[in-house]
Structure 1
């Protein structure tokens, strides 16, 4: 194993510890709602699955997230998104793809990671105008995508966190890399669409927008060893949406956050 890979894995373990919050076979299903002229409408569904697979002959996690808008919402804004990533068992990203059909737009982001000499990322983009773009970047520390950072964040050791605690990390898509943040906003009791209430940690995902910052998503994750997202508040360019957990299957640890 290359020395650079050992350094990266050591860096990951120093941040997040050895406890894995999830396992292969986990499935999370969500019901989505969209705010339309002060009324919350059923917007569609989302499903996330985690499986143990191989990537180029080595053990890996395969995570997939699919979202689908309802027929009612399709009349205003049709959404069919599929996100896929492969990571090492330590949540180091290996591959990422997002294929998004949103309204009249269709675009694809694709990332390829290599760790033979530092961190090498190939970023490909099929724009909504049909352009095919590609760039390559090298980094000294790990770079993440939307799904890999989701898995990584679930492994956070949150013991001792105080309100306002912030972690900064580089996030990539087909168009490039920027520094994003996850900020802890305290605890809150949240009711899911499975009828249960959970004690949750509030985590805000924040990205730069010009000279300012914008909160993209707020996660409410169980305050236990699983860190299962119970609710997501999404701040979209065309409005706001919420996703509430409907079912969870195959979680690794006892769900002690359930009240």
Structure 2
């Protein structure tokens, strides 16, 4: 009887670990202390103008008392562009050291509208539990609670995970489907690979890059949200981003990078 209890306790422990690790993924692309900066450009009446800057940082932190990665992405428009529209976005996410999503927040001021989306993740009995919160531009707080049997991501956590994808053997048109959560819904999303290109960053260096597109399903069709050009090395650093916004198109070009995990072997001299 004692051996039976020990066996059952051991099985329960294994099941608990498996449930928590069901959405784990190996990270070999970044480390704590990575910091990237970008120049932003906006297409205004068929002319690309300097719109501001963006930065992304990833550090090891703690979430609910446990070690975790904290990543943040901020975009800031300059005074010149503020006269046309106001762009103030801040994205924040936490993930476990095994790349499981733990938390996501997006605070966005675009034009005269400001809103907040939050997603809280927890893992129990092989299920993923989500608490979703949305602060609308009218000041209304909306909450949703969902339990699903598959892994769910948000637009920043999936980006961290995708940086460790191994593209060897991928052909142009290769697609990866996944569910994406915001403060209100869970929607189908897709990552599409479109081959290799050379991209010149705003630091004056050209890089061999992989072209990836992030698409979300809208009215039954997939719509491109962002094209990522990431370095063709183990870091998979975003060298250029083409963003398709509600109020136009914007681009971001890499200016500087520090704290990388791997050598930059994609630079073209």
TM-score, scaled relative to structure 2: 0.92
Alignment coverage as a number of residue pairs: 255
Label 1:81 to 1:51 Cα distance change in 2 as closer, same or farther (>3 A).
same
User: How far apart are the structure 2 equivalents of 1:134 and 1:7?
Assistant: 25
Identify the match of residue 227 of structure 2 among 218, 228, 232: 218
Matches for 1:84-163 after TM superposition, within 5 Å: 84-117=92-125, 118-163=127-172
Runs of 4+ with deviation above 6 angstroms: none
Aligned to 1:30: 38
Matches within 5 A, 1:1-259: 3=15, 6=18, 9=21, 12-13=24-25, 18-117=26-125, 118-259=127-268
Computed over aligned residues only, the root mean square deviation of the Cα atoms, in angstroms, reads 1.4
TM-score, normalised via structure 1 length: 0.95
SS in 1 for 2:156: helix
Q: 1:19 to 1:91 in 2, by over 3 A?
A: closer
Deviation at 1:22, TM superposition (A): 0.2
2:20 and 2:123 in contact (8 A); partners too: no
Contact 2:210 2:229 in 1 (8 A): yes
Aligned counterparts of 1:155 and 1:61: Cα–Cα separation in 2: 15
Structure 1 gap ranges (5+): none
What displacement does 1:209 show? 1.4
Q: Deviations over 1:83-132 (max 9, x none)?
A: 11100112111011111111110101111101023100000000011111
Aligned mates of 1:161, 1:183 — CA distance in 2? 10
SS class of match (1:188): strand
Distance 1:5 1:176, change over 3 A: farther
Could you list the runs of 5+ residues in structure 2 that have no partner in the other structure? Answer: 1-12
Moved more, 89-98 or 119-128: 89-98
Partners of 2:182 and 2:90 in 1: CA distance: 14
SS in structure 1 at match of 2:85: coil
